[in-house]
Structure 1
Amino acid sequence: MIGDLRWRAWTGVIADVWNVACEHGARGEYISQAPRLVVVLDQVGDGGIHVTASPNQGGAVRSIGRQSMSYVPAGVRVWSRVENLRRLTHLDLHFDLTALEARLPDELDRDAVETPRLTFSDERLFGLARLIAAECVEPGGFHDLYGDSLISAMMVGLLRIAPKADRKRGQLPPRQLKRAIDYIEDNCGRNIRLQELAELTGLSQSYFCSAFKASTGMPPHKWQMRARIDRAKALLSRPDTTPAEAAAAAGFADQAHLTRVFRQVVGTTPAAWQRSRAA
């Protein structure tokens, strides 16, 4: 392995990013007690990794290249062989299905859960995988709702979960919406897990996200980020508060993080906004 292992844990999943040096003809045999998704993020070399559910490397053997992935159910053994690669970067996601099912309004399709999908590609899933990997390698200072949302989207796309035909999703009732908003704004300075908000309203995590967005026009993590900006504005309204102090008090990782998000939301920097208020 090259460098340190980078990893993160969110509700129901452990994500880790591996950078490895490859020897020609290297072989491996793997089995996991948890379902996992392996995504090839990048590689150096013209070859690939051959992956199969059979040790003889026959029949269905195919080469994994960039942007390819393999879903392996729990307890399923797979074999791999490296050819003509010098380096490889891949993301591994290890799923706790019991915890993840709590996010979804419908039961998981057991056939999809238990069926291997080796060496397939999907642009949308790959895009999610890159965002998840980025949070492992260089966390952006986002609260855990961001990672939880990425994992939920990955699960829905990976297992192709569709809502039941007779299920109609609407907005949150006013009382539930107020309860959720008050909770987010009262706790915006810390990481709020999606599970907390779902339990607060008595809904599944997936249903809550959909209903909250239908009610407010934005997902919960964006609402929390705006609440942090509002808190930072209130602090910066005091001329003796510095942007660094406002960033720490409002829950941002540092002043640079506040400045980046503040500019995106407000259209200017915290310092410029504070000067304009004092003028």
Structure 2
Amino acid sequence: MADTDTTWQYSEHMHADVTQTIVSRALPYSPVGITRVNTNRRHSGLTDPYERESAYLVILQLQPFGEQELWLAGKPAPHVPYGAGWLAIYDLERNWSANLIGEYDCMQFYIPQAALTETAKDLGIRAVQHLHCPPHLAVADPVVHHLSLALLPALAHPEHASALFVDHMALALRAHLVQHYSGVQVPSRRVQAGLAPWQEERAKALIMAHLDGEVLLETLAEACGVSRAHFAKAFRTSVGMPPHRWMVLQRIERAQHYLHHTQLPLGEIAQLCGFADQSHFTRTFGRVVGANPREWRRQKRH
């Protein structure tokens, strides 16, 4: 973690039983913290005080939650009971505190103002001054809900999560928040053009050179001379899938080559193909191919 990190990225202020965090560094100077916090205990108590800053805490409930006392600048603040998939936004330049009474399971996205500024540039719109969806106006947000569910495996096993996947999800999240909660009009786009042949070739070559997954979306976009938002959409238009998905398929293809043409053990193949460990390799291979690596190797040799 860098010096720009704050306790909000870990959600330490809530004293949860389980805290799982990953950080997107698609924007090196304004990382986005993604955290799942949950507890099966009642009466977790008061949240810790914090230093106010130019950032937002976007909270998406994974299960219904309504038992809390909420204050803003020391005065009771209105709020509504949340259903699963409901979202609220807390401006961290304001002094929020809560007494958490009920059990909870939620996703928290720490979004610095600088990340919103960069997102506005990517979208070609005027600067975003604020996000607005306070707790008394909380709404169901199926987009952020689906993004949250897709991130759960990465949060449970951060050692298995590729930076490319996390950055792609954070980019989608930031674009959605700006489009729906900033009050800034985002012009509708015409049919998205794909990458030029040289851009697609360069992007694929970079991904192949970094099958460990540590290549950043920003690196790919810069190599193609376009914004992050444009690159992510254009790559999908040209290739038919997002960059992180294409990267996984290349890992699997490389693994199949080693399985078929060498006697290397599975653990070594996993390492050569950029998987975190053998179990990660086995799970991913089985999900994509429909058979575990050992079975697939045996079938190919009969």
Tell me which interval the TM-score lies in, with the shorter structure as reference length: 0.7 to 0.9
Matched, 1:173 2:193: no
Distance 2:235 2:44 in 1: 51
Residue among 8, 25, 34 paired with 2:22 = 8
Q: In the alignment, is residue 98 of structure 1 matched against residue 114 of structure 2?
A: yes
Distance 1:107 1:272, change over 3 A: same
CA distance in 1, matches of 2:51, 2:60: 16
Shift of 1:227: 1.1
Question: 1:214-251: CA deviations, max 9, x gaps?
Answer: 00101100111111112112211234212222111101
Name the stretch that deviates more: 223-232 or 22-31. 22-31
1:141 aligns with 2:160: yes
Residue in structure 2 matched with residue 264 of structure 1 by the alignment:
287
- Residue 41 of structure 1 is matched in structure 2 by 62
- Cα 1:77–1:26, aligned 2, differ >3 Å: closer, same or farther? closer
Rounded to whole Å, the distance in 2 between the matches of 1:278 and 1:90 is: 47
Equivalent residue in structure 2 for 1:70, among 83, 88, 91:
88
Q: Which amino acid aligns with 2:43?
A: E
Partner of 2:132 in structure 1?
A: 115
Judge conservation of contact 1:143–1:191 (CA < 8 Å) in 2: yes
Deviation string, structure 1 residues 155-212 (Cα, Å, up to 9, x no partner): 2332326752465520111111111111111221342211111111111111101000
Query: Are the counterparts in 1 of residues 45 and 99 from structure 2 also a CA contact under 8 Å?
Result: yes
Task: State how far apart, in whole Å, the 2-side matches of 1:124 and 1:98 are.
Answer: 22
Aligned to 1:197: 220
Distance 1:260 1:98 in 2: 37
CA distance in 1, matches of 2:178, 2:94: 17
Provide the secondary structure at the position in 2 that maps to 1:62.
coil
Name the CA shift for 1:276/1:23 in 2 (closer, same or farther; >3 Å): closer
Residue correspondence of structure 1 range 193-232 to structure 2 within 5 A: 193-232=216-255
Asked if the contact 2:83–2:140 (Cα under 8 Å) also holds between the matched residues in 1, the reply is no
Deviates more, 1:4-13 or 1:133-142: 133-142
Measure, in 2, the Cα distance between the counterparts of 1:114 and 1:242.
51
**How many pairs are equivalent?**
273
Superposition CA RMSD, Å:
3.0
Q: Aligned AA for 2:284?
A: V
- Between the aligned partners of 2:249 and 2:22, the Cα distance in structure 1 is 24
Name the CA distance, whole Å, in 2 between partners of 1:80 and 1:226.
Answer: 45
Residues of 2 paired with 1:24 and 1:97: CA distance?
A: 29
State how far apart, in whole Å, the 2-side matches of 1:238 and 1:73 are.
Answer: 56
TM-score, structure 1 normalization: 0.83
On the 8 A contact 1:25/1:82 being kept in 2, the answer is yes
**Alpha-carbon distance change, 218 to 166 in structure 1, aligned in 2, over 3 angstroms:** closer
> Is the 1:49–1:65 contact (alpha carbons within 8 Å) kept by the matching residues of 2?
no
CA contact (8 A) 2:34 2:108 kept: yes
**Unaligned ranges ≥5, structure 2:** 1-14, 26-30
The secondary structure found in structure 2 opposite 1:218 is coil
Residue 82 of structure 1 and its aligned partner are, at CA, apart by: 4.1
Q: Distance in 2 between matches of 1:163 and 1:207?
A: 14
Matching residue of 2:172: 153
- Aligned counterparts of 1:69 and 1:26: Cα–Cα separation in 2: 21
Aligned partners of 2:203 and 2:223 also within 8 Å: yes
Change beyond 3 A, Cα 1:225–1:69: same
Separation in structure 2 between the aligned mates of residue 267 and residue 167 of structure 1, nearest angstrom: 38
Given that 1:36 and 1:94 are in contact with CA atoms closer than 8 Å, whether structure 2 keeps it comes out as yes
TM-superposition CA deviations, 1:60-83 (whole Å, max 9, x none): 442345433321234123343445
In the alignment, what sits opposite 2:28?
A: none
- Describe the shift of the 1:165–1:179 C-alpha distance in structure 2 as closer, same or farther (beyond 3 A): same
Distance 1:15 1:211 in 2: 25
